[in-house]
Chain A
Amino acid sequence: MELFLEGAATLFSSPLSIFIFFCGLVGGLLFGAIPGVSMLTLAAIFLPFSGYLSAPDAIMFYSVLYCSGTYGGAVTAILFNIPGAPENAPTAFDGYPMTQKGLGGKAIGAAVLCSAFGGTCSVIFMMLATPLLADVAVTHFGPPEIFSLVFFGIAVASSVGAKTLWKGWLSVLLGLLLATVGLDPVAGEERYTFDLYYLLAGLHFVPVILGFFAVAEVLVQAERRAAGSYDMPKFATSFPTLAEFIKLKWAVARSVVLGFFSGILPGIGATLAAFLSYNEAVRWSKTPEKFGKGELEGVVASETANNAATGAAMIPLLALGLPGGALTAMMVGVFQMHDIEPGPLVFINSSDLVWVVFAAMFFANIAILVLGFVETKGVLHLLRIPFQYLAPGILLMATIGAYATRSQVVDIAVMFAAGILAYFMRRTGYSVPGIVLGLILGKIGEQTFAQGMQMVSYDFTAFVSRPIVAILLIAGVSTILTSVYRALRGRRRDIDI
């Protein structure tokens, strides 16, 4: 506690530090909310300047940015079906339908509260047991275990968002196929690149997500407007009640654990956390058919988990020097610019700095709660804008976002192609969430499967003999078999998109 207070004292010791804290906070909220132009964009822009700040201020900026940026993307996901970042994609599954029902305020309120709660829990866990948890994570979770986790996630996801189980699986498999575009993770062989060099890096999931959600949504709404059946989203600022949250207490607790657990694994992070948590919410729900139609629990699960992953991702970074994602990799660069190597020695040589990070993330999550509610009151008014003005704005924002991801014009084409594909998929009962999940998890899954098989010299028996692998694979296979059985028996209730 003393160390935490010292960290907090350092954090608020000078007007400059306080200013930087709020820059990180507001910057994350704003950049997180603009699709494609995520917190990573701001982080990359700021990187050269961080060398001019003191080490605590520079590291603190990135810590705060990480927390607020992860929440920021939820706002546009809920209001316009445009996830600000991939980890906010599951938030849109139910958040946007809630907006269409006039419950946008409730969805954003839930996102604010759950982001703050998930993030705060994560920071507290992080403060209590960083070195221990980091060791456990890297010792027990190698590529085979991560592949098994991905397999389990995909198995669960087959039931989300499609008219039938078979259409759900076809959607997931299409996502997995798209994930193979680019260089294969073992030998670097080109696949489906058609001699186009910009496909060497594969399909980036940000433009694909923007196409699937933003462009497809504009097309669907435009069609409805042309047909005279367009309903403007209802404006309402009703926030969720305490009773509603108490009712979802187990979903919140489960999402904190899943988010924290996913975030702690190097290379996994908030996106898998959000998808896994959403899928588990569907699986444990007594009314799974309500998901995808505006279920508050869907927003709660996704936003609690992705923010719970932020604090957890700092554990391997600080304790072992292992970045889990793009932003934490940039933080390694910031540490090094100040002649500090993150890793075990950082707790000995720079423990004051570590506690500044802990304090900054703790207060950032508290501040999200306050600023988030203030922001919500303002942004909800965007729903008053008529569709003919809103739609071009959405397309413009999405186009900028698609291009800004990698500064590649081809990503804009990919976004519009994905939008048209998603438009027809939605009309025919295929699952947009399924294809997104397949695309995102497919890349991680293929790479970790290849690495895992190489580790055991291509002996599949040795691969599945690892205890955690066995448990997760059995759980995944059981999930698939159960859903197939239910589908064949006609007991599975169809879910609309």
Chain B
Amino acid sequence: MKTGMKWGAPVLGLVAAVALALPAQADKHNTLPDTMAKPGGFPERPLTMIVPYGPGGGSGQVARGMIEGVKDATGIDITPDYKPGGSGMVGLKTYMAAPADGYTVLEHIDDATSGFAIGKSKIHPGNDLIPLVISQITFSQVYIRADETRFNDWGSYIAFVKGQDGKSTIANVAGEGSMERINMNRIANHYGVKVQQISFDKGGPRYAALKGGQVDALFEQPGDVRGFLESGDFKPILTLLKERPGAFPDTPSMTEVGLNFTPLMRFRGFYVHKDTPPDRVKYLQWAFQKGFFTDSYQAFNKKKFMDLIPSFRDTEGARVLINETMEIYRQTYKEMGLIK
């Protein structure tokens, strides 16, 4: 793998701009009509939602949160169908084999974007699919044990990592080229250090690794470790955002520690096939965007720290987010030598 990545600030700045331009967009869609005529009686039966991950993880949870939101807003029933495996590729490809009639929708995360960028998937989530809504966008943090004695903040942690000569460990969930790994590689490159990134695909063993002292740190999103934060077991030492979010006033932002790249975000959303009849697409866009603004879904997002940065994207906003993120992944993969 090549080191010393060089970043095009203008391109990255675009992503930051998109991330920051959301409140106005959210307000606009909050005024969606309360009702909408069913196009040709669609849907006449419950929908199926393919979820390409297990029911216990973040995708399973957001799928159920949105299913409840859509039900509250429109009365439409949706049945989740979990198809885990292959970093979301099994569910994605299974979805593409389903009829494009609007009765089957897809939940997916930024893995669909990175998968296309690296060539694992031939399905472009912004072109081959129509995003109905992006309903969760979240940032990452670096965590340590609250009772850690070798370091207690970002500065002492980096000093520790330097002293370990490449033997320091951090747990995350991801293979080569994933959002977590790229963000962490950029941090390591900035400081000129090497960190052993250890991938745990299930949350339990991943958090146990930090809790039990098997690894030095954890790279994760705050909503997934809320229990450990509230119990005082884990402590964030870096937030991968330009500014400190209100919920973490004591944790330095990346700007404060001198990291000047734009971080890749985790985002989750809902899609239909591009060949779905346009009137049905329009109806589903309305239904899912209404679902986002229901009290139940908003409460769910708040519980997951998804209200700290604006999470809402409509179809147009989602495509911008996907395309800009795709460009960053492509640049990164080229610099890493993973694609030409």
Residues of A at under 8 Å CB distance from B? 44, 47-48, 51, 137-143, 182-183, 185-189, 197-198, 200-202, 266-267, 316, 320-324, 326, 328-330, 332-333, 336-337, 339, 341-345, 406-408, 447, 451, 454-457
Contacts and interface: CB of A to CB of B under 8 A. Distances in A.
Given A138-B211, A321-B207, A454-B198, A202 B85 contact: yes
B213 A408 contact: no
A341 B87 contact: no
Nearest to B178: A188
B123 to A, nearest CB: 10
A466 to B, nearest CB: 10
B317 interface: no
Contacts of B174: 188
Interface in B289-306: 303
B27 interface: no
A200 B213 contact: no
A332 B56 contact: yes
Contacts, number: 152
A138 B54 CA distance: 23
B163 to A, nearest CB: 14
A455 B207 contact: no
Interface of B: 54-57, 60-61, 64, 67-68, 80-87, 89-90, 93-94, 166-167, 169, 174-178, 196-205, 207-209, 211-215, 226-228, 230-231, 233, 303
A73 to B, nearest CB: 20
Contacts of B93: 197-198
B56 A200 contact: no
A447 B199 CA distance: 9
A322 B175 contact: no
Contact of B231 (A139, A200, A344): A344
B64 A407 contact: no
A330 B56 contact: yes
A337 B300 CA distance: 9
Contact of A197 (B64, B90, B212, B228): B90
Nearest to B86: A200
- Main secondary structure, interface of B, reads mixed
Contact of A343 (B64, B83, B228): B228
Nearest to A140: B212
Contacts of A336: 61, 303
Contacts of A142: 209, 212, 214
Contacts of A141: 212
Q: Which of B60, B61, B82, B199 has the most CB of A within 10 A?
A: B199
A323 B90 contact: no
A342 B233 CA distance: 13
Contacts of B84: 201, 406
6 contacts: A44-B55, A48-B80, A51-B68, A182-B85, A344-B233, A407-B83
A457 B56 contact: no
B175 A187 contact: yes
B46 to A, nearest CB: 12
Contacts of A183: 86-87, 175
B226 A138 contact: no
Contact of A333 (B55, B212, B215): B55
Given A139-B212, A188-B175, A323 B227 contact: no
Contact of A345 (B203, B204, B227): B227
Nearest to A47: B55
Q: Which of B55, B56, B200 has the most CB of A within 10 A?
A: B56
Contact of B54 (A200, A326, A345): A326
Contacts of B233: 343-344
Nearest to A462: B167
Given A322-B208, A344-B231, A333 B60 contact: yes
B97 to A, nearest CB: 9
B225 to A, nearest CB: 9
B228 A187 contact: no
A231 B216 CA distance: 61
Nearest to A448: B205
A141 B213 CA distance: 10
A141 B205 CA distance: 10
A320 B196 contact: no
